[in-house]
């Protein structure tokens, strides 16, 4: 979504331009993004050096794209008019949707968390020793888990901070914290694999895929294999299991919020949507497929 400026006098437009340039150094990523989008309308050739300098130090990928469009417009010598303003592109719309998701989950958590905590405190006081093991305790625990899942969904929509890191080190560190129970988790490599991306978002996506694979592989002779690589301008991680798998007609629905193939008890249907949202923030994709020998294959891919 691009900030649409009303027709103004030259003096007013200069003031808005100056404010937008100053806002590029704001601590808030959202304010910097709004400023970059406003500059698409009002920046002049003399601003090119300042905008290019901000692009060099900018960590927010949506703001980076907005600044790149400003520089492209200045380089091409285009003059903005109300009638020639470009429509928002797909990346713009994706950024707006992600911001809306972040704001919505943040507001819900802000309002609901204290209420649940208050209910739990009052119930503990009223029930005393009867609270432990009660249906009320189980219901409150499930609500708390739901809020944690919503927090993950909001985090997954965050603007990525792109840095180079060792994917092998990141994955092995994550897997060391996973409770696999009787299922064997095998990594396919130990050598360093340098990639660019946001390791927090990638780990968020991967942790949900690994958890899904483990939950589908409950027997002691089941195994989960995790492999990864970087080649041909793309990095990828695969998670293979030989568990119950997914029916082919359920693959497309599995990434919808609220969809689960594990039954209703204990699951909110948010794991795959969280993985998808996190990787989409990196302009990547999540691929799900059944394995011929049984089980499922899940892949994370994002550009380099």
For 201, the token pair is 């978002």
For 17, the token pair is 């331009």
Digit-coded pLDDT (tens) for 176-201: 988 888 888 999 999 999 999 989 88
Domain 163-303: which topology?
Heat Shock Protein 90 (3.30.565)
pLDDT number for residue 47: 93
* Beta strands, E only, 10-159: none
* Beta strands, E only, the chain: 163-166, 184-187, 194-197, 223-231, 234-241, 285-290, 296-303
Which pTM was predicted?
A: 0.56
State how far the Cα of 25 lies from the Cα of 112, in Å rounded to an integer.
33
| CATH architecture observed for domain 10-88 | Alpha Horseshoe (1.25)
Residue ranges per domain, the chain? 10-88, 91-156, 163-303
Digit-coded pLDDT (tens) for 130-178: 999 898 988 888 788 778 777 777 777 677 788 899 999 999 999 998 8
Digit-coded pLDDT (tens) for 209-230: 998 888 888 665 678 999 999 9
Who has greater pLDDT, 67 or 247? 67
Find the mean pLDDT for residues 58-70.
Answer: 84
pLDDT number for residue 77: 62
Residues with Cβ within 8 Å of 32's Cβ and at least 6 positions away in sequence, in order, are 23, 24, 25, 26, 58, 60, 63
Residue 94's pLDDT band, with cuts at 50, 70 and 90, is low
């Amino acid at each position: 979504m691009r900030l649409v400026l009303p027709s103004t006098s030259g003096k007013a437009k200069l003031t808005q331009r100056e404010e937008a340039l100053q806002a590029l150094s704001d601590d808030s990523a959202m304010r910097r993004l709004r400023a970059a989008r406003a500059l698409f309308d009002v920046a002049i050739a003399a601003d090119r050096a300042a905008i290019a300098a901000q692009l060099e130090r900018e960590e927010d990928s949506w703001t980076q794209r907005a600044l790149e469009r400003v520089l492209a417009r200045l380089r091409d010598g285009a003059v903005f008019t109300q009638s020639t303003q470009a429509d928002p592109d797909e990346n713009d719309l994706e950024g707006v949707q992600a911001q809306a998701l972040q704001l919505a989950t943040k507001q819900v958590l802000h309002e609901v968390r204290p209420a649940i905590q208050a209910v739990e405190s009052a119930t503990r006081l009223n029930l005393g020793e009867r609270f432990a093991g009660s249906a009320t305790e189980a219901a409150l625990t499930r609500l708390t888990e739901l809020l944690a899942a919503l927090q993950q969904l909001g985090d997954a929509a965050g603007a990525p901070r792109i840095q180079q890191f060792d994917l092998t080190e990141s994955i092995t560190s994550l897997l060391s914290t996973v409770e696999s129970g009787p299922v064997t988790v095998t990594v396919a490599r130990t050598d360093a694999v340098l990639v660019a991306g946001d390791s927090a978002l990638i780990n968020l996506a991967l942790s949900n895929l690994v958890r899904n694979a483990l939950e589908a592989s409950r027997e002691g002779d089941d195994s989960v294999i995790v492999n990864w690589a970087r080649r041909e301008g793309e990095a990828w991680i695969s998670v293979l299991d030989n568990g119950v798998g997914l029916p082919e007609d359920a693959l497309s629905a599995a990434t919808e919020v609220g969809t689960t193939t594990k039954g209703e008890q204990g699951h909110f249907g948010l794991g795959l949507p969280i993985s998808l949202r996190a990787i989409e923030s990196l302009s990547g994709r999540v691929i799900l497929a059944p394995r011929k020998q049984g089980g499922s294959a899940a892949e994370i891919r994002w550009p380099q």
